[in-house]
Structure 1
């Protein structure tokens, strides 16, 4: 850049000086020619005064020629006297017989018309460029006196001026080249730095700074550039911050968000939307919505939105054909200054509808559970009112049955209250250090009469040396009782129910297994939902609250609960409890029990 700037300055000087030289040469030549023409005009008038009267007389031709030579020698110029017919009657430098007719010469024509004629041309006679000045006086009746001088001196003067200008040009060129290099360096260095930084900005790197140049204009340009880069950097940071916020918002939304342009092409989609549509990853932008959604109902919703006024909001609930999810979809226009987009919001209502179904089932179950004892109580009371109360045996039996139904109602209400308190965190859990084998044995012994009545084995597989746990005895026993009670209900007579435990890391794993009918694999994930009953054969007993209560009790202790089963091969329920700190555990087994399996109940043949 520096060389180009210096060369530009030099070229400008050369062009300017050349034009100036040509201009000065022309002006000087014109000045000299004009001054010489005036001088020659004076001489021509003088000679015309002397020879003009004689030229009108054709007989005095020789005298005119002699005098013309005399005056030419005296003045040092070429003098020509031209008769009215254009013939030369006097010539100071050549024989007049050698000269042709001069009546058609431009200066002669001008002199006869205007009194004075001036012309510059190369003489055909002597082969030199001459300045011709011709005059004609009115009283000379067309006689023209012409004085001519060579322009060699004028041309030499012009050449001297041109030579001087050329020398001045060379000197100026040398000076300007040196000065131009210095100036170019002062200009080029900041400009090169500015160019480099501009390229960095164009490449997206906005961390560069231009050092302000010492010259005022370039320094101001550098400072302005730095200000622009700072503003661009701030703007990009704001845009990036807004993009990250939008990305985080879209990523964190549980609702699916899809943005579509007017042509029905997907512009943006979040992970929740991809999941609801059964896509393994978020698709790249630019794909048609129909190709991404793969559902004709969703596609119809979008087409309807794109074809109707932007003020309308369209809502539809569909079951997606690929993911089989129940989706509530809404679509509306997003209008901005430069584009129009459609916003599609997807909300997975599968769980909500399932919970609604569970709630309806719960209401049905609770209504049934309440209606059955109430109906029994009403029938028993009506029977007593009808006179059965007078029979002591019948009345005692009826009253005993009424108390049993009331106890059943009270148990149902207590379960509902326990579940409500557990879910809200209002049920107090009072942990203490408990011996594991004693905790499990005491809970199992509570159901020994029921297992015997159902002709089942109840076995205890607990090592007395198991470490202690931190738990609320009453609540954990409630969990074990619920699990054993479930096993009793779904294990045929002659089966076996086993309660056991083992250590896994910092937790005690408690197990209750049976040899009953088992559970279908698709029902396992829902076993611990409140109000849920597995298969229809089980719906006649209980409200479906026991396992939900057990789950919340275990969670309140910081443990987990799960089930394993295969149809017709029994089921095993597991839950974990945190072990007591080492320093709080007692050494050795309590009560002198030996390790191994202990049978609490004896199998009896069904009657």
Structure 2
């Protein structure tokens, strides 16, 4: 009798032989194709990179000359010297890699022109020529040579790229040939493999299929199934063991069902006694059990469907939890009246897995946390801040006016110590005035609920770019507006959103060094348009990100004049008033990305 092991070795040994032969043939053809591609890289890649390096070095030399013309001779001279060397290295590389007709003539022309250009750099680097003389010399002699050299470098680049394209076509033809031959080898392998498959199907697969069908019945709950043991080989032994397993499962199922019924009754009784509003929801949306508080105050009763309770926020949280398999918390509070009294709750949906090893979600727990006291404390804090700010505004204005009058010596002269004290008083009062203005701005944002109108998302970004583009240039920064096509209209208060952009862009200016970039972008995200302001500045440490939008929070290590810690709190308040959200992504030394969303005007965007 031939066992399963011998049958498998015979069947799969033949398949292994086919795979080895096909693989060897394929590797041979891939090696030929790789040789063709390697030829492309060896012949032209060095010339392409050398041409690009020459162009880049030439641009940097020209930038250095412009630095000199604008009065920054030291930095400009350093830039010129550095990139003259790089240009010559790249030119030498190109001259040592001539592979195309006409390439040598272009390289020799560059060498001749650059020698003339390089000799003209000396007067620009010396202090013997006046600024006007340098400017006239640059535009008359150096600038024309700059463009002629650059055009020759581009000519070499174009020649090599064209040659690479042609070589690529040749490689494609070889690839097609390799494909045809490989396909023929695969077809032959398939025919031979089909012969081995027929034999293994007869010897192995038919018995295994019968065993698989029986296992499927067991999976579907038919534990009373008994398999027929038709042979004495390994499959016959497996069928016998399968029957013993089914018997053990029948016994275990009866025991587990009894334990499960007892556990469910105990859990339901404990849940009802809890003081919090809690409910357990099955994956099909049916309420399995609920506490008495949930039934009495929210009408959440066992047997009801979560979608039929008229509480949309609960249904949305449950659906999101069902999709993502992780805890979902409502962003904000819900208002609910109980016995004529106003309460606030924060709903959370937590997935309940099958077990520690199996994380498959079997149900979810809806928890309604009573945050009425927390909400009252927050409202009281806001009210006190707004009231105090308005009450302090007028007397502080008088104090500032008095300090300014004293500093102007309109009421008498000041000695050095008096002036120093008054300057400190002025700085302190200015900072206090800034804090009060920010608090008043937050209060105004909270009260501005119905002033939104329909605007193009691109228009809001264009407004911000127009306002700050000149300032960015003055700071040596690039302000880039990446407007995506087809952006819908949004509901927004144009003035308030301008304040949001102003705060985020000014922060980016403050923490991005000259030469950096500030990027404005926007994209559709469901029913919202998400705007972003990204900089290449110094970034924010991770431990401070969760507090960055809190009032009066300032990242440690900033200078005293960098702000009051209220700017981002105002941004958050304005965006949330519009129904959107704010967030931040940042890493130290890698820049920051601040995002905020505004709702789409749905009547126009379908």
Please indicate the TM-score interval, normalised by the length of the shorter structure.
0.3 to 0.5
Which TM-score applies when normalising by structure 1? 0.32
The structure where helix makes up a greater share of residues is 2
Report the structure, 1 or 2, having the larger strand content.
Answer: 1
Higher Cα Rg, which structure: 1
TM-score when normalising by structure 2 = 0.33
